[in-house]
């Protein structure tokens, strides 16, 4: 009996299995690809499960610091053993309530996207009698590499436009309660190859040096972003970057000759690369039907379980691995929801499946339950099992209420929560 079949019999399906050995390997691989002086942030939006976040804090090698974008992710980071001071809080829509909670719980480093965003951070800091550090996220006017998901070079809610930064910097220098501590870039996601990644990082480092020089911009921390690739829901291996360490060191030596001794501290960030390959989604076949010559395999896992932003039409199709047998036919893989949008893959190769069979979807450790339509139709969330080898370390399920509850004033309290 395979590990997945045994776990499915114990805990039911749909079921996520996260292997911490795979997370350890990903962290080692990425740290080996970066200069040893680099700080590495883990973007909790990829998977905020405290067991995975804790694994990235513990174990061999340097811990990954949390990069968070909500008080929910802050809660996960704290539950994993981090302090608020370890976190970098990002996002263009930080509310007054969120900032108040973040400051109260020790967060002191924020990535900011506009003058008003900086002022909001400052107001929260002053209300608690403290000072906060702000990175200015920069939306470069140009880009080097191409990618499936571009994050710079166009009008965006993210970041200060690089060409207008000089105009707003005098105002930013006068805001009480915050200090401008550096710059944050995130130009691309899931780079198609090492050359694309290197080209974008070199462009970012050159632009950061020019802005610092021309604007006399404080630069204690330079976060150059990420873009490290791993397959999503299809077989394959993490990206390999054998030349990246040398390329980064060369670019920094050129533009910041004393970066190793005098700063700036340089950081990268990653989400999917660190956790993506750790996860496998196990689902059961509920039914198989043929409609006008097309075969449909209906699973107990759909976009409520594994949405992964599939509604945006850019992450389909998935690939399935059978517990037994070879792929012998083409079918459309659908979930259990009563909507025609509940499709995981159109006309993909599958084995000869029947009700009760198991299928596995690999590389599903990132953008799983929390990136899905989890509450749609009120179906139970999938069980999430954290393992190390053959040892089960934790079993949990995100619970959401089946009825509406009154909220406490003055602020709303969530009716959802995660149990570990």
> What pLDDT does 51 receive?
97
Question: 270, 290, 321: which is the final residue of a domain?
Answer: 270
Residue 11 forms part of a structural domain: no
| Domain-embedded: residue 354 | yes
On whether both 185 and 62 belong to a single domain, the answer is yes
Do 342 and 349 meet the contact criterion of CB atoms below 8 Å apart?
Answer: no
Residues 310 and 183 in one domain: no
| Residue, of 1 and 195, whose pLDDT is higher | 195
Residue 412's pLDDT band, with cuts at 50, 70 and 90, is very low
Give me the pLDDT at residue 143, please.
54
The whole-angstrom separation of Cα 172 and Cα 156 is 20
Residue 70 in any domain: the answer is yes
Please indicate, yes or no, whether residues 226 and 300 belong to a single structural domain of this protein: no
- The verdict on 252 and 339 lying in the same domain is no
Q: What average pLDDT does this structure show over 178-195?
A: 91
CATH of residue 186's domain is: 3.20.20.10
pLDDT score for 309 = 57
pLDDT greater at residue 110 or residue 155: 110
| For residues 252-268, average pLDDT | 97
pLDDT for the residue numbered 375: 86
Of the candidates 53, 1, 5, 33, the one whose C-alpha atom is nearest the C-alpha of residue 365 is 53
Q: How far apart are CA 48 and CA 274, in angstroms?
A: 12
First to last CA, the chain: 27
pLDDT in tens, 204-241: 999 999 999 999 999 999 999 999 999 988 899 999 99
Residue 8, in any domain of the structure = no
DSSP assignment of 202-247 equals: HHHHHHHHHHHHHHT---SEEE--------SSSS------TTHHHH
Report residue 106 as tokens. Answer: 């020790």
- Residue 25 in any domain: the answer is no
pLDDT of residue 420: 42
Displacement of CA 43 from its chain's centroid (Å)? 4
Q: DSSP letters along 125-161, please?
A: HHHTT--EEEEEEEE-S--SS-EEEE-SSS--SSSEE
With a cut of 70, say whether residue 150 has pLDDT above it: no
The band of 409, judged by pLDDT with boundaries at 50, 70 and 90, is low
Based on the fold, state whether residues 238 and 303 are members of the same structural domain: no
Residue 172 has pLDDT above 80, yes or no: yes
The pLDDT of residue 414:
43
Q: Do 285 and 344 lie in a common domain?
A: yes
Tally of domains within the chain: 2
Any idea how long the chain is?
A: 420
Domain end point (choices 270, 305, 334): 270
pLDDT tens-digit readout, 11-23: 999 999 999 999 9
Instruction: State mean pLDDT over 304-322.
Output: 65
What percent of the chain lies above the pLDDT cut of 90? 71
How do beta strands 265-270 and 321-322 pair? unpaired
The three state secondary structure string of 12-74 is CCCEEEEEHHHHHHHHHHHHHHCCCCCEEEEECCCCCCHHHHHHHHCCCCCCCEEEECCHHHH
User: Which of 35, 125, 49, 56 has the alpha carbon at shortest distance from 89?
Assistant: 125
| Per-residue pLDDT reduced to its tens digit, 315-368 | 456 777 656 567 788 999 999 999 888 888 888 888 889 999 999 999 999 999
d(CA 359, CA 139): 42
In Å, how far are 166, 184, 208, 337 from 215, measured between CA atoms?
A: 6, 16, 10, 54
pLDDT given at position 415: 39
Residues 299 and 357 in one domain: yes
Q: What percent of the chain has pLDDT over 70?
A: 88
- Cα separation, 177 vs 139, in Å, equals 24
378 band by pLDDT with thresholds 50, 70 and 90: confident
Give the pLDDT mean for 142-159. 52
| 197 and 295 inside one domain | no
Q: What are phi and psi of 199, to 5 degrees?
A: -60, -40
Q: What is the CATH number of the domain that holds 346?
A: 2.40.37.10
Bridging pattern class, strands 178-184 and 221-223: parallel
Q: Provide the pLDDT for residue 94.
A: 95
Q: What is the pLDDT of residue 187?
A: 81
Q: Using the predicted structure, report yes or no on whether residue 410 has a pLDDT greater than 80.
A: no
Do 226 and 323 sit in the same domain of this protein? no
Is pLDDT of 419 > 50? no
Q: What is the DSSP letter of 315?
A: S
Residue 15 lies in a domain: no
Q: CB atoms < 10 A from the CB of 399, how many? A: 13
d(CA 148, CA 191): 7
Examine the domain organization and report whether 233 and 87 are in the same domain: yes
Q: How do residues 41-60 score in pLDDT, each as one tens digit?
A: 999 999 999 999 999 999 77
pLDDT at residue 154, rounded to an integer: 57
The answer on pLDDT for 30 being more than 90 is: yes
Do 226 and 327 share a structural domain? no
Q: In the prediction, which pLDDT does 417 show?
A: 42
Q: For the whole model, what pTM was predicted?
A: 0.91
In a domain, 7, yes or no: no
- Residue ending a domain, choose from 235, 270, 305: 270
In this structure, the answer to whether residues 57 and 172 fall within a common structural domain is yes
76 is a domain residue: yes
Range of the domain at 131: 34-270
């Amino acid at each position: 009996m395979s590990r997945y079949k045994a776990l499915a019999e114990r805990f039911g399906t749909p079921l996520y299995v996260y292997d911490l050995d795979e997370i350890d390997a990903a962290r080692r691989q990425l740290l080996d690809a970066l200069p040893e002086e680099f700080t590495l942030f883990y973007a909790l939006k990829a998977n905020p499960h405290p067991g995975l976040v804790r694994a990235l804090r513990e174990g061999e090698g340097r811990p990954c610091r949390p990069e968070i974008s909500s008080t929910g992710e802050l809660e996960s980071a704290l539950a994993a053993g981090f302090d608020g001071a370890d976190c970098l809080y990002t996002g263009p829509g930080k509310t007054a309530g969120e900032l108040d909670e973040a400051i109260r719980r020790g967060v002191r480093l924020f990535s900011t996207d506009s003058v008003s965003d900086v002022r909001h951070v400052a107001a929260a800091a002053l209300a608690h009698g403290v000072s906060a550090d702000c990175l200015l996220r920069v939306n470069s006017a140009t880009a080097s590499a191409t990618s499936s998901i571009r994050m710079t070079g166009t009008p965006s809610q993210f970041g200060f436009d690089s060409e207008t930064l000089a105009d707003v910097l005098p105002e930013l220098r006068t805001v009480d309660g915050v200090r401008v501590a550096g710059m944050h870039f995130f130009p691309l996601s899931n780079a198609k190859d090492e050359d694309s990644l290197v080209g974008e990082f070199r462009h970012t480092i050159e632009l950061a040096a020019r802005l610092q020089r021309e604007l006399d911009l404080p630069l204690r921390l330079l976060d150059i972003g990420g873009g490290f690739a791993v397959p999503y829901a299809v077989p394959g291996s993490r990206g390999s970057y054998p030349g990246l360490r040398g390329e980064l060191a060369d670019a920094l030596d050129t533009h910041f000759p004393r970066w190793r001794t005098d700063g700036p501290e340089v950081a990268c960030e990653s989400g999917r690369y660190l956790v993506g390959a750790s996860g496998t989604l196990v689902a059961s076949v509920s039914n198989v039907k043929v409609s006008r010559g097309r075969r449909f395999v209906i699973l107990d896992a759909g976009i409520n379980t594994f949405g992964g932003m599939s509604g945006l039409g850019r992450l389909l199709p998935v690939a399935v691995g059978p517990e037994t047998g070879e792929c012998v036919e083409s079918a459309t893989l659908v979930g259990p929801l009563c909507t025609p949008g509940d499709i995981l893959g159109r006309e993909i190769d599958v084995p000869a499946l029947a009700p009760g069979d198991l299928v596995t979807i690999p590389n599903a450790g990132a953008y799983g339950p929390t990136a899905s339509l989890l509450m749609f139709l009120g179906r139970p969330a999938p069980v999430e099992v954290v393992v190390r080898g053959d040892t089960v370390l934790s079993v949990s399920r995100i619970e959401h209420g089946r009825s509406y509850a009154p909220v406490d004033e003055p602020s709303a309290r969530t009716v959802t929560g995660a149990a570990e």
